[in-house]
Each structure stands twice: as structure tokens, then as C-alpha cells.
């Protein structure tokens, strides 16, 4: 299929482009490079031998977005482009709603205008909010107890997509709810390279390991979990990327929703000790206060994706850490 990947130079987008090309699909990328670099294209080319055509366009610009759709014949869109820093979204709610929700609306308009009928959307487990549950399944309520505008944008876009696909004849949408993506492509050329100060656990661990941040603060060791730290469903980014291929190849009319997770939680302490074991280096760590909005533990019920898409994770947290270290070795 000829697929447009929005946000295709970013972390998850670029890994998905690699897997799409490896599966024989034709990929074009639309990105405004606000949190990624054009060098991602070199890396994708180095790994796959194919350089995706690139459109440097901001989805907030409807005219330019439409031009891209009018000049190409896409069969499907995978939509990653969006702002994703939770803390920043609390500081700048309007930017998040304008960029994420506004961008998604422009994208859907351009798809409607040019008759593109397949969409995969990059959503997040954050849409489940806080329900006191631990294992989340797709049929559970969403949009209750979300603590930040970033999470709300994901929830709102899901709703917009459901309404849009109901109103459009022959439209297929698949919403993928990611748990905690970590790791890097096994080639060592492609990984997570966020601009600025990272918030998520693994990018912080990476910077501490490289000496760019003096120490890792663990946000709370007094949770009601076995070791007192939070537990998350960490998923290797390559498994996650492959989930998109499985979704693309199993689309049907209407909207489908799938969790992409492993179903197995790992605690923050466990991640750190695995990182130390595999790297052979001790990380400077201190225990800090709980971070506002953090849930003690949650993971995916991944059964639906297994049953309907034939997809399940093949890699684990140790693989993700090994691939992350391999990627760090190649960074200058």
C-alpha cells in the first residue's frame, strides 16, 4: 500500500516507517520537524535501502496539507504527528489542542477531500484515565479522570475519528492505544532522540548513562507495589511498529480499537537494575517525591490485538535495553 505517515521522522513514526518498508509498503512522510530531525530519513534509508519521500508540512496548515494529498495517491494514513509532553501540555493547553486536535481535523478534511479511506491513529493508554484498574481492556470506559491536556487531546481525537468514520461511507479507522514504548531498532542506527529535556523514564535513563543529566530521580518508592516503585507495561518500539503493519493489513469498515502492550508490567526499580546489569554500569539514582498524575501500576490486556490482528509482542524489556545501549554506542 502507499501510506502517508504523519510524524514519520519522530521516534515511533520512524520505527514504523522501517517496518512498513520492510513489509513491502511504499512510505511517504509528512512532518513539521518540531520534535525530530530530517536525519531520520537518512537512518531509515540506511536500514531499509529506501528513502521515503518527505513533505515538510505542518498539519495546522490545511492548504499545504491538502496539496500533499492532491499531489499523491495515498491508500492509507498512519497519524503520529502531535505534541506529546505531558507537563508542557499543562503549561500550554491551547498549543496542544490547536496542534493535536486541530491537526487531526485538518488531516481528516484532506482525507475526505481526496477520498483516502483508511486511517490508523496513534493513541495512548492515557485515555483510560484513572479507573483504579490495573489491566486495561479496549471496551473499558475512556475519558474519565484524565489529568492533563495531552491526554485529553488523545481522547478527543479518538472521539472525532469515531464520529468521522460513522459519517463517511466505506471509511476504516484503527485506533491503537500504546502503553510505554521503549527501545530502539536493532540495527543501532535509529532510536529515541528527543529535543530538549526528556520526561519519560527511558530517555532520562539514557541521558544519565551518558552523563548529560547528573542523576536519575525515581518519582516515589512508597507505592503499594512489591518494590514500592510504579509498574508499567514497557513495549519494545519495534514490536509497537509491527503492530501498525498488522493493523494496516487487517482493516475493516468503521472504527476498531486495540491496545498495543505486552500485558506484563515491570517496575521502575526493575528497569534500572536491568539497565545496570546489561550495561555493566551503576547509575546515579536518588529517590524523589511522587510525580503528580502518576498511577501506581497499569498494563495492557493485549488479547484483542492477538485474536483479531494476529499480533503480540516478541521482544521484552531486556531486548529493549540492549537495543537502546547499542544505539547509544553509535551516537557521537
Binding residues for ligand UD1, rule: CB under 6 A, are 86, 124, 126, 151, 180, 199-201, 204, 216-219, 230, 232, 268, 291, 293-294
Angle between helices 39-48 and 11-22 (to 10 degrees): 30
**Dist CA 97 CA 274 (whole Å):** 37
Nearer to ligand UD1, 62 or 219 (CB): 219
Could you tell me the smallest distance in angstroms from the CB atom of residue 317 to ligand UD1?
A: 12
Q: How many CB atoms lie within 10 A of CB 124?
A: 20
Nearer to ligand UD1, 30 or 86 (CB): 86
Nearer to ligand UD1, 26 or 131 (CB): 131
Is residue 327 within 8 A of residue 190, CB to CB? The reply is: yes
**Dist CA 105 CA 324 (whole Å):** 35
Could you tell me the smallest distance in angstroms from the CB atom of residue 88 to ligand UD1?
A: 11
- Nine-digit cell string for 271: 528497569
Nearer to ligand UD1, 199 or 326 (CB): 199
Chain Cα centroid distance, residue 329: 23
Nearer to ligand UD1, 65 or 180 (CB): 180
**Dist CA 27 CA 50 (whole Å):** 9
Nearer to ligand UD1, 78 or 237 (CB): 237
Could you tell me the smallest distance in angstroms from the CB atom of residue 146 to ligand UD1?
A: 9
Q: State which residue has the least CB distance to ligand UD1.
A: 230
Which one of 136, 150, 178, 223 is the catalytic residue?
Answer: 150
**Dist CA 223 CA 230 (whole Å):** 7
Nearer to ligand UD1, 126 or 324 (CB): 126
Confirm whether 150 is a catalytic residue.
yes
The DSSP letter of residue 306 is I
DSSP letters of 208-248?
A: HHTTSSS-EEEE-S-SSSSSSS-EE-EEEHHHHHHHHHHHH
Give 5's contacts (C-beta < 8 A, 6+ positions apart): 13, 16, 17, 20, 27, 28, 29, 30, 52, 77, 78, 80
| 3-state secondary structure (DSSP) of residue 161 | helix
Is residue 89 within 8 A of residue 96, CB to CB? The reply is: yes
Is the CA virtual torsion 315, 316, 322, 323 positive or negative? positive
The set of catalytic residues is 150
Amino acid at each position: 500500500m502507499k501510506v502517508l505517515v504523519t510524524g514519520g521522522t519522530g521516534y515511533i513514526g520512524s520505527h514504523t516507517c522501517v517496518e512498513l518498508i520492510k513489509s513491502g509498503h511504499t512510505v511517504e512522510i509528512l512532518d513539521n520537524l518540531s520534535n525530530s530531525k530530517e536525519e531520520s530519513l537518512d537512518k531509515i534509508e540506511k536500514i531499509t535501502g529506501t528513502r521515503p519521500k518527505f513533505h515538510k508540512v505542518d498539519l495546522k496548515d490545511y492548504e499545504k496539507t491538502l496539496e500533499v494529498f492532491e499531489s499523491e495517491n495515498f491508500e492509507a494514513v498512519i497519524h503520529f504527528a502531535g505534541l506529546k509532553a505531558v507537563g508542557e501540555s499543562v503549561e500550554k493547553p491551547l498549543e496542544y489542542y490547536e496542534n493535536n486536535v486541530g491537526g487531526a481535523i485538518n488531516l481528516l478534511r484532506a482525507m475526505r477531500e481526496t477520498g483516502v479511506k483508511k486511517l490508523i491513529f496513534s493513541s495512548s493508554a492515557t485515555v483510560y484515565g484513572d479507573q483504579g484498574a490495573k489491566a486495561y481492556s479496549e471496551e473499558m470506559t475512556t475519558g474519565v479522570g484524565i489529568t492533563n491536556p495531552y491526554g485529553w487531546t488523545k481522547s478527543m481525537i479518538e472521539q472525532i475519528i469515531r464520529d468521522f468514520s460513522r459519517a463517511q461511507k466505506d471509511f476504516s479507522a484503527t485506533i491503537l492505544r500504546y502503553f510505554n514504548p521503549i527501545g530502539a531498532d536493532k540495527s543501532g542506527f535509529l532510536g529515541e532522540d528527543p529535543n530538549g529535556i526528556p520526561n519519560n523514564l527511558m530517555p532520562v535513563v539514557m541521558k544519565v548513562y551518558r552523563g548529560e543529566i547528573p542523576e536519575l530521580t525515581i518519582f516515589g518508592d512508597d507505592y503499594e507495589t512489591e518494590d514500592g516503585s510504579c509498574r508499567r507495561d514497557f513495549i519494545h518500539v519495534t514490536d509497537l511498529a509491527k503492530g501498525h503493519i498488522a493493523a494496516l493489513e487487517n482493516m475493516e469498515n468503521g472504527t476498531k480499537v486495540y491496545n498495543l502492550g505486552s500485558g506484563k508490567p515491570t517496575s521502575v526499580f526493575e528497569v534500572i537494575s536491568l539497565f545496570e546489569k546489561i550495561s555493566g554500569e551503576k547509575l546515579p539514582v536518588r529517590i524523589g517525591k511522587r510525580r503528580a498524575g502518576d498511577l501506581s501500576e497499569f498494563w495492557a490486556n493485549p488479547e484483542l490485538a492477538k485474536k483479531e490482528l494476529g499480533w503480540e509482542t516478541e521482544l521484552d524489556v531486556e531486548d529493549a535495553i540492549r537495543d537502546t545501549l547499542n544505539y547509544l554506542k553509535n551516537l557521537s
